[in-house]
Amino acid sequence: MMRRLNLFLGIPFGPRRFLILLCLLVVAACDRPQVLHKGQWIMGTVVEITWVGSPASNRVIKQAFDAIRAVDNAMNPDKPNSELFRINARAGRGPVTVSPNTCRVTHEGLRIGEETGGAFDITLGPLIRLWGWDTQHPRLPSGEAISVALKKTGLGGVTCDPDTHQVSLKRKGMAIDLGGIAKGFAVDQAAKVLKTGKIDNFIVNAGGDLYASGGPPGRPWRIGIQDPDDSGAIFAVVTLSGRAIATSGDYEHFFIRNHIRYHHILDPATGLPARGLRSVSVLAGTTMEADALATALFVMGRKKAARWLARHTGIQAVLMDDRHRIFASRSLKPQVRWKEKFKQLVTYF
């Protein structure tokens, strides 16, 4: 007997992580493959894998989680044995040889930095530490301290040789932070493991950085984008298959001082949290790209981001500004549904 099963996977991340809700409407029947689901706490967020198959795929699922953990172990600068820790510890004292993966993510980070006019900047380590965004207790630094930290940043201070896998930081006190790109790369790594393991219909979601392959039987996956003002609600649903979406927002990692919201996405030009937007979701071919570009477009602000997107037609985005106005790529129109109360606020560009 066919049974209609409404499966709503709301994903409660840790207190400081923002989330994307997955809305899956699945027609299930006993003789059809099941939609299964597993979550683990990695990279400071709940990483979730949803897949269509049987519990027999558990071994592959475990390997996919292991792939994500391996990225964290290599690229988390706060882990004393990580490759990032070693790079930063040797700042100003010559190159460090790292794994091909760490070299690749560093290299991609630099490339996206260049391509976004410096809005994405993997050398913000000193500023992120100063603000305490790498801790549970972020703080408001003095203007003077921000100026000092800013002097230790700059994409020109990193060299990264893709052949020898050597990375070096020119000056003492510099530090690489891959927090805006590594999670996306980790999702891609997990997706690769799943595909190799013959799982074709799945979603890997690391705190809102997500890759969707295939779909639940008979339809593409449907992904909800969170309302920045209501952690239990979404403002849009996009359909997705064979592509990634990542969201950067100001609503999970923040503190409020004197009615001003300070959050963890920093403008490399000022060392201060980027202003103007509340949420940016980017759709791209890889999660790594979507992740980094969501951060970069957030920094650019609405106007610059729209101009950048006009020149990069393979990338799509949904932006919400601090007046709740929504701006979306026109090519997304057939693929996106807005929740009723937001419909009037949407402009396509």
Interaction between residue 126 and ligand ADP (CB under 6 A): no
Site for Mg ion in 285-304 (CB under 5 A): 291, 294-295
For helices 58-75 and 182-196, angle between their N-to-C axes, nearest 10 degrees: 150
Least distance to ligand ADP, CB of residue 58, Å: 27
Stretch that binds Mg ion, among 18-26, 149-157, 179-187, 273-281 (CB under 5 A): 179-187
Q: Going by C-beta distance under 8 Å and a sequence separation of 6 or more, which residues neighbour residue 137?
A: none
Amino acid at 328: A
Q: Are 42 and 68 contacting, i.e. CB atoms less than 8 angstroms apart?
A: yes
Distance in angstroms (rounded) separating the CA atoms of residues 198 and 209: 22
For the stretch 94-101, contacts whose Cβ atoms lie closer than 8 Å and that sit 24 or more positions apart, written own/partner, are: 94/168, 95/159, 95/161, 95/166, 95/167, 95/168, 96/166, 96/167, 96/168, 97/164, 97/165, 97/166, 98/74, 98/165, 98/166, 98/167, 99/74, 99/165, 100/165, 101/71, 101/74, 101/185, 101/189
Q: Which of 264, 278, 289, 317 binds ligand ADP (CB under 6 A)?
A: 264
Residue 121 interacts with ligand ADP (CB under 6 A)? yes
Q: How far apart are CA 182 and CA 43, in angstroms?
A: 9
Closest approach, Cβ 208 to ligand ADP, in A, equals: 6
Residue 266 is a binding residue for ligand ADP (CB under 6 A): yes
Instruction: For residue 301, state whether it binds ligand ADP (rule: CB under 6 A).
Output: no
Q: Considering the complex, what minimum distance in angstroms separates the CB of residue 197 from Mg ion?
A: 27
Q: Of 180-199, which residues contact Mg ion (CB under 5 A)?
A: 180
The nearest distance, CB 279 to ligand ADP, in angstroms, is 10
Q: How many Å apart are CA 65 and CA 98, to the nearest integer?
A: 22
Considering the rule CB under 6 A, would residue 308 count as an interface residue with ligand ADP?
A: no
Q: How many residues bind Mg ion (CB under 5 A)?
A: 5
- DSSP state letter for 218: T
Using CB under 6 A as the binding rule, whether residue 105 contacts ligand ADP is answered as no
Which residue number, 52 or 127, has a Cβ lying nearer to ligand ADP? 127
Q: For ligand ADP, which stretch binds (CB under 6 A), given 19-27, 155-163, 211-219, 262-270?
A: 262-270
Determine whether 61 is exposed, middle or buried from the number of CB atoms within 10 Å of its CB (0-12, 13-18, 19+): buried
Contacting ligand ADP within 142-181 (CB under 6 A): 177, 179-180
Residues 202-261 that bind Mg ion (CB under 5 A): 248
Q: Which positions lie near ligand ADP, rule CB under 6 A? A: 18, 120-122, 124, 128, 133, 177, 179-180, 183, 207-209, 248, 253, 264-266, 268, 291, 294-295, 299
